[in-house]
Structure formats: C-alpha cells, structure tokens
A and B are shown apart, each in its own frame.
Chain A
Amino acid sequence: MNVETSGLTRSFRRRKAVAGVDLALGAGVYGLLGPNGAGKTSLLRVLGTVIPPSSGELRLLGRDPAGHAERREIRRRLGYLPQDLGYYAGFTVVEFVEYIALLKEMPRQRVPRAVAAAVEDVGLGDRARSKLRTLSGGMLRRVGIAQAIVNEPELLLLDEPTAGLDPEQRVQFRGLMRRMGERATVIVSTHLVEDVGAACDRVGLMSDGRLVFTGTPDELSARGAGTGVGDAPLERGYSAVLAEIRT
C-alpha cells in the first residue's frame, strides 16, 4: 500500500479539518469529492507532508513521515499540486519545472529529459520557453501538473487539477491521470464529478472532515438511483449520500 492512514486527524485550533480518516490505497486513481470545507485540501496537505497530522497513524510509500530521513525519501517520490500554485513570474515554463525537479533531488543528468517529457505531457511544448507571467490560468495549472509529475512520482496528489482547463484539456488530463495510475497512487481532489467518473477507479466522499463514502464510481452512482438531485448519475449519488448524512 502506498497510502495507509488510520484514525487520521488534523485540527486547526479547535476546528477539526480532518476528523478520523482511514485509507489504504495502492496503485490507481482515487477521486476525492466533497463540498467546500469538507477537509479535502487539509487531507492532501497532510498526505503531501506539508503539515503533520494531529493524531492517528500515517504511512506513505511504506515509510513514516514523522522521521526526517523517511520524510525526505517520501518527498523524493512524491508529486504534489497545491490548490493555489505559487510560481515565480520571471521563470519560463521549463525553468520552473527544472527548478522543482532539482529541489526534488533528481540527478542533474536526468533532469532535462524529464522536464521535456513533463512539459510535453501537459501539452505546453509550444510555450516551453514562455515566462510564467505571460500564461493563462489554465496554462499555469498545467505547469503545476508538469512540476508534480516531473519526477515520475509513486504518489501523486492533485488538488483541483482541472480548475481552469478547457474541455479538451480536461479530456487529455484524464488520460494522463489514468496512465499515471497504472503504476502510481494518484489522489485527485475535485468538484467535477465527471472527472471522477471518467478517470478514477475509486472515489471517496468527504464531509465535515470524515470520509462518508468510499467505493467505485458505479457504487456512488447507485446510491443516487431514484433519490438524488443532479443531472448525471454520479451527481445524484453525491447529493444522495450528502443528504443522507445530514438527516
């Protein structure tokens, strides 16, 4: 298992953003759904070793991130796209992706080819030498995805990766997620249930810091049969599960 959590919590002062999450994930694409404030981003930040958990068990890629050496080893094999990707406006696309690759401690001789592959994978080859300040929001999102995948991570965490992408780019991105999921654990937080239906093997639905549903996209769709609100089966399943826990 690449991700193992048991009773994982994360509090910010009195508020529990993550309130006891159990996960056991191997290779594949895992979709994380939930309303705003459900705890998806906090969970991804804990899994990305950005912030430590408040309590509970956490093992990533078979290692305990509480230890410095093990955390460093996890980070070498990790790809993380934050919800708000900060970037250096004066860097070009390849300079930014290269910078992150070097900070991921990739061997320098491997970096140019890995950067080229990542930039091509996200369809930014024609803007490779453009300054980041000149790119659109969707392009910047793709730069963020490129830096996340440049080291061919074994654990890839993507927070709202398709925000700002046009429909064609979203379709291409789903293909990329599926390819990555063949050998890595990909966890993608999103509001777009169609992304989950098209690319994810499994899906978790969070509400108030808890995982209130875990299963396949088909199983989530089935929960909404005849009851849920929404235009698509997954949307109906999503709203049915949330309505159920609120009553």
Chain B
Amino acid sequence: MNEGPDLERVWLGVAAQVWRRRPGRVERVLAVLLRSDGLARALVSTPSLLLPWLLATVAVLTAGAAASVATGTPLVPLLAPVVAAAGIAYAYGPGVDPAYELTRSLPVGDRMVLLVRVPAVFGTDALLGLAASAASPHAAALTFGWLVPMAAVSALALAVATITRSANTGVAAGLGAWCLTVVSARAATGHAAAAVARPALLIPYAVLAVACAAVVLIGTGTPRTPGLGAPKRG
C-alpha cells in the first residue's frame, strides 16, 4: 500500500466489492423484521439453527416417530423437550459463544442476540416436533401437550448453561431433570407419557419456565454490582 492514496482508495473499493458477503433472502427479511442487520446476521449464524444441527434434530425425531409406530409408546412427546433443550442451551452464551467476551462490549449485546435466538430455536424445534407427532398416530392426542414441558426443560437448560457458563452442563441438567420427571411419572401412573399428558403438571412446568427465564435475564444482564464474572490475568 505504498503506491499513493488514490490507488489505495481504488484498491479498497475493489476489495470491498470482491470480499463483500451477499446476505441471503432470509437474512434480508430478518434484518427488516428485527430492524437490525447485526441481529439478523447473529440469528442466521445460530449454531443450533445451522443445517447439520437441524438434520440431527430431524433424525432423532424421525427415529422417535418410527419407534412410536412400532411399539405403540408415544416417544416423540418425550424426546421433543430434550431436543429443544439441547438446541437452546447451544443457542448462545458464555462457554458456548467463543467471542462472548468481545460481544459484551458491543452495542448489539449478547442478551439481545439471545432474545432473538431462543424463540427462533424453540419455534423451529416445536414445528419439527409437531411434524413428527403428526406422523406418529399414537402421539396424536399429545400433539400440543408437550409444548409446555418443552418450554420448561428448555428454560432450565438455558438457565443452567448461563449460570455455569457451559452449554454441556445445561444440556445435562435439562436431560437429567426430564429423565427424572418421566421416570417419576411412570412410577406413579405406569405410563411414561403421563409426564406430558397430566394437566396437573402444566402449572408447575409453566412456573419453572418463567422462573428459569428470569434467571437467564438476570444472568445475561450487565451487572450493576460486582461479583459476577471472573478476574482475568494482567
């Protein structure tokens, strides 16, 4: 870049055109809806919304639907909450996003990114789960019953991931809690599907979802008092 300022300007113009990334149609629509190019870009690059993850989700739910047809046990409603919990725990956050420290200093903050990614992941997983349920005749009666437990397990996984700064721990907590719930339901009623079918459980699920969402909001906010975060070298 020693040839002079005009040549430098010309080269930068060329480089800008050659290197520029053309956002896809989905990203452009999201940018209009979210009124933020940054949020749109963050949303389309969500790990758990990328194709490999979605294919894995479809594979798990398809296997669940097939097993439901073969055995008569409604597996899709029992699988869907865990699938969603994993997706949401990996949506964003400390220990998950490698550039987390950097994003804490940006105007479109980590919490905003989280707030757009979580509904997107949840909605996508819910749609996939509904499709799998529809294909599974034994689960048809439970089609909507698992949405509330799915919200609760997802919120629990995200809250634990946020507090512990580890998506894996979040997934483990969601999976562990859900397994415990299903096993308890089976022990109490003789049917594992009672974990998603009993109306009496809806309120506890909803309370858990709201409480965990509150924990996430508090955990991802910029703390007004010290204590959160860890000291670093230097």
Contacts and interface: CB of A to CB of B under 8 A. Distances in A.
A102 B233 contact: no
Say what secondary structure dominates the interface of chain A. mixed
Contact of A12 (B31, B36, B101, B230): B230
If over half of B's interface residues share one DSSP class (helix, strand or loop), that class is named, otherwise mixed; here it is loop
Interface string B4-46: 0000000111011101110000000001000011100110010
A117 B107 CA distance: 21
A115 B222 contact: no
Given A15-B231, A72-B107, 17 more contacts: A11-B226, A41-B232, A42-B231, A42-B234, A49-B105, A52-B225, A75-B106, A85-B102, A86-B102, A100-B106, A102-B38, A104-B108, A105-B38, A112-B17, A115-B16, A128-B19, A129-B19
26 contacts: A12-B231, A15-B231, A36-B234, A40-B234, A41-B233, A42-B232, A50-B104, A50-B229, A51-B104, A51-B223, A66-B224, A75-B107, A80-B105, A82-B102, A85-B99, A89-B98, A94-B19, A94-B21, A95-B21, A102-B37, A104-B106, A108-B37, A112-B17, A113-B16, A115-B19, A117-B12
Contacts, number: 144
A109 to B, nearest CB: 10
B49 to A, nearest CB: 14
Interface of B: 1, 11-13, 15-17, 19-21, 31, 36-38, 41-42, 45, 97-108, 222-234
Interface string A117-137: 101100001001100000000
Contacts of B15: 116, 119-120, 125, 128
A99 B36 CA distance: 12
